[in-house]
Structure 1
Amino acid sequence: MKRGLLFSGALVVAPAIGLATVCGAAYAGSAKDYYPTRAWGSFNGGRMNTSILVFRDLNRNGVYDLGDRPMPHVAVELGKPNGDTIMRWTNVSGFANFAMSVLQRNLELVDPGHYAFRVVPPPGWSVTTGNASQESDYVVSPGSPGDMIALRTTHPVGLAADLTISGAATAGSRISLTGPDGVTAVAKVDPDERFSAPVTSGEWLVEVSTEGATQRRKIVVGEAPVVLSALSGKGGPAVEPLPRQHVVGFDDLLTTSGVFEIPSGYGGLDWYNLVAMHQRFTDGPGYINTTMSGEFIAYNSSGHPGQVFSDKPFDFTGACFGAGWNDAEGETLVLKAWRGDQPAYEDQLVLSASGPVYFAADYRRITRLEIQTQHHWQAAMDDFAYRTGP
């Protein structure tokens, strides 16, 4: 290269003091030129969001506090001064955003006036904060990002799943549930051999009696509805539970935002076609809504069956399950377990992207567990609990 030739974009210092040439253009600006003071009071012409936050109120105390989690894919309505209503879904951070601007007339809020917000919970969910409906007046404010502001901002809206214990039982069975307060209620078995009863958090004793035999299950109800494995009324499991309890939340497998095939040996078990990832790696709201501990979640890869297995028998205690995507709402999860080559258990439960159910399995001395969905959608899974021998 000849002396004096420069690559494109290079800076050449000109002989005149205070002048510079950048890509062929000469400048001699002052600080006031480069850092102009804005003329406040004129219309900005921009836009900004007015938002409302919806969260999972995990401790059900009606306050957005530590431990609560944002809840995506919740419907929020905005009532406009002219009587029209529009709906937006909450995003992965739990916010329903409505864009406002005085000059950009194609947005949701363009006129001053009285606006009303209404959060519409998914089926099986209730508002804990008592503020599903909120109202505010919006006024023109030239120079603000959207040239309009709210006189009152919204407050977070908390939702919690309606707690139930449900399951399958033989027709004619008598189902009784005794709660932490010592009060016993009876649940009716429907013609489809299903039952469901409203409950509160705490330890419950479930008894199913059929033809003189009674099976008893102790269930701890936490933050999610509980689905029991099939109750046969034949006297319960014939073997004692294994002594060592474990719970894996998949948070110690990776620290990045990618996906990671769960390797054999994790937690002392072997795994096949099950993947762990950060809950926000995809846009699937069910992955976020199913996460109960930490920030990571597991799912059956590509919606195909996954397996957990071991040469040594283990007890599958239970796990939280949900649908990864809102398009899979109502997907059916099928769980099968074997002892060696012999089938031991089989159950089905319905999944939702709004939040998990806790499947109380109590599968004892199994060597293989299969996790599959009927329509090959991904089932999200967290807090996989099991027991092993000494």
Structure 2
Amino acid sequence: MKRGLLFPGAVVVAAAIGLAMVRGAARAGTAEDYYPKRAWGSLEGGQMNTSLLVFRDLNRNGVYDLGDRPMSRVAVELERPNGSTIMRLTNAGGFANFRMSVTQRDFEVVDPGHYAFRVVPPPGYSVTTGNASQESDYVVSPGSPGDMIAKTTTHPVGLAADLTISGAVAAGSRVSLTGPGGVGAAAKIGPDGRFSAAVAPGEWLIDFSAGGATERRHVVVGAAPVVLSAFPGKGRPAVEPLPVEHVVGFDDLMTSPGVFEIPSGYGGLNWYNLVAMHQRFTDGPGYTNTTMSGEFIAYNSSGHPAQVFSDKPFDFAGAYFGAGWDDAEGETLVLEAWRGDELAYEDQLALSANGPVYFAADYRHITRLEIRTQHYWQAAIDDFAYRTGR
């Protein structure tokens, strides 16, 4: 081929381009062409969620207000006009979503008529807002995103944990509880030495006695049930609590929604195999439900044992604990605290992905705390409280 000659196909391509340019320039567009208005009245053929929000009513006032948090993994039923019932779990944002469409018939809400929602709280939780059951009529509305709308929308449903103080004592022990205003609460001790008493929010004194040994604990009951460290039933050397109180919530370690190994020196303590992350970084509902302050939470990495330790003695006051994943519902948390090479404290408690318990440890003058789970699932941890010397 000589220089300057086109290959045969190039003529066709050039002609096509020229024709397109001529056609493209046939007329100028108008604003109506570029910004068309919707022709209302026909079916959209799309979809829209109809939803119900479930939240943790942390102040137990029956109102969704500042400070309350979404509650993940709560069952919400929807009864449809044909009498059938379907269930969806709330997501990390607290919403149970039901897909709505007139044309997409495999969705959950497809026919006009009367629908009824019902929130089914997990064990140990109660509705605070008085609206666990709600109803609404749905009508066809061509042109809306799902071609259907609700005549009335749902209202948020608040749940709160049933508050208790529980623990374990040695055989033959007695337990008495005194709450706000001097009100007492009965604590029935089972054959296994465990006890539990229903309580109200506020400050409580718990008195233990067995064989001449006595011990008094002071706890503040807030938004979660309280589990006390074990009473051994024998006198322990009197050890005064250290004077300087600290609480770490892991929010000051990072600013992005990722995962961050907690470094030694954080809060003046050393940390091993504990990771901090944003509560919604994974799909585990327990991370969202255990978070009590801020947006970040800690857990034992890969479910393996973790440690908090220091060359100088510290007191482990307590922390919120939950199960990170719903597959680990009922997992056993094992805590051991050491003074040098001497095991000073040991406790076990059950974990839930539905929400935390506050473990009131009051482990005094320890140098190492080991945190592990019996079946190697991740334990979610928030608001780790401890005391140090001056």
**Structure 1 residues 339 and 14 mapped into 2: Cα distance closer, same or farther (>3 Å)?**
farther
SS at match of 1:170: coil
- Output one character per residue of 1:259-283: Cα deviation in whole Å (capped at 9) or x when no partner: 1100000000000000000111111
Mapping of residues 185-200 of structure 1, within 5 Å: 185-200=185-200
SS at match of 1:33: helix
For 1:101, the equivalent position in structure 2 comes to 101
User: Shift of the alpha carbon at 1:372?
Assistant: 0.2
SS at match of 2:318: strand
Q: Could you state the TM-score of these two structures normalised by the residue count of structure 2?
A: 0.93
Mapping of residues 192-271 of structure 1, within 5 Å: 192-235=192-235, 238-271=238-271
Name structure 1 gaps, 5 residues minimum: 3-11, 21-25
User: Shift of the alpha carbon at 1:172?
Assistant: 2.1
- The answer on 1:303 being equivalent to 2:303 is yes
- Output one character per residue of 1:134-183: Cα deviation in whole Å (capped at 9) or x when no partner: 00011111111111111110000000001000000112211110001202
CA distance in 2, matches of 1:344, 1:14: 89
Mapping of residues 124-135 of structure 1, within 5 Å: 124-135=124-135
1:252 counterpart letter in structure 2: D
Check whether the contact 2:185–2:198 (CA below 8 A) recurs between aligned residues. no
Mapping of residues 1-390 of structure 1, within 5 Å: 19=24, 28-235=28-235, 238-390=238-390
- Output one character per residue of 1:196-252: Cα deviation in whole Å (capped at 9) or x when no partner: 000011110101111232211111111110000001233455210000100000000
SS at match of 1:181: helix
Q: Could you state the TM-score of these two structures normalised by the residue count of structure 1?
A: 0.93
CA distance in 2, matches of 1:289, 1:236: 36
**Structure 1 residues 343 and 15 mapped into 2: Cα distance closer, same or farther (>3 Å)?**
closer
Check whether the contact 1:237–1:364 (CA below 8 A) recurs between aligned residues. no
User: Shift of the alpha carbon at 1:16?
Assistant: 7.1
User: Shift of the alpha carbon at 1:353?
Assistant: 0.5
Check whether the contact 1:13–1:19 (CA below 8 A) recurs between aligned residues. no
1:260 counterpart letter in structure 2: F
Question: Higher helix share goes to which structure?
Answer: 2
**Structure 1 residues 76 and 183 mapped into 2: Cα distance closer, same or farther (>3 Å)?**
same
Name structure 2 gaps, 5 residues minimum: 5-16
Q: Which deviates the most, 197-206 or 166-175?
A: 166-175
CA distance in 2, matches of 1:13, 1:324: 64
2:323 counterpart letter in structure 1: A
CA distance in 2, matches of 1:352, 1:383: 17
CA distance in 2, matches of 1:38, 1:15: 29
SS at match of 1:93: coil
CA distance in 1, matches of 2:18, 2:195: 83
**Structure 1 residues 199 and 17 mapped into 2: Cα distance closer, same or farther (>3 Å)?**
same
Aligned sequence identity (%) = 79
**Structure 1 residues 156 and 27 mapped into 2: Cα distance closer, same or farther (>3 Å)?**
farther
CA distance in 2, matches of 1:322, 1:49: 30
- Output one character per residue of 1:265-324: Cα deviation in whole Å (capped at 9) or x when no partner: 000000000000011111111001100010000000000000000000000000000000
- Output one character per residue of 1:317-336: Cα deviation in whole Å (capped at 9) or x when no partner: 00000000111110000000
Check whether the contact 2:167–2:229 (CA below 8 A) recurs between aligned residues. yes
SS at match of 1:370: strand
**Structure 1 residues 142 and 236 mapped into 2: Cα distance closer, same or farther (>3 Å)?**
farther
User: Shift of the alpha carbon at 1:13?
Assistant: 11
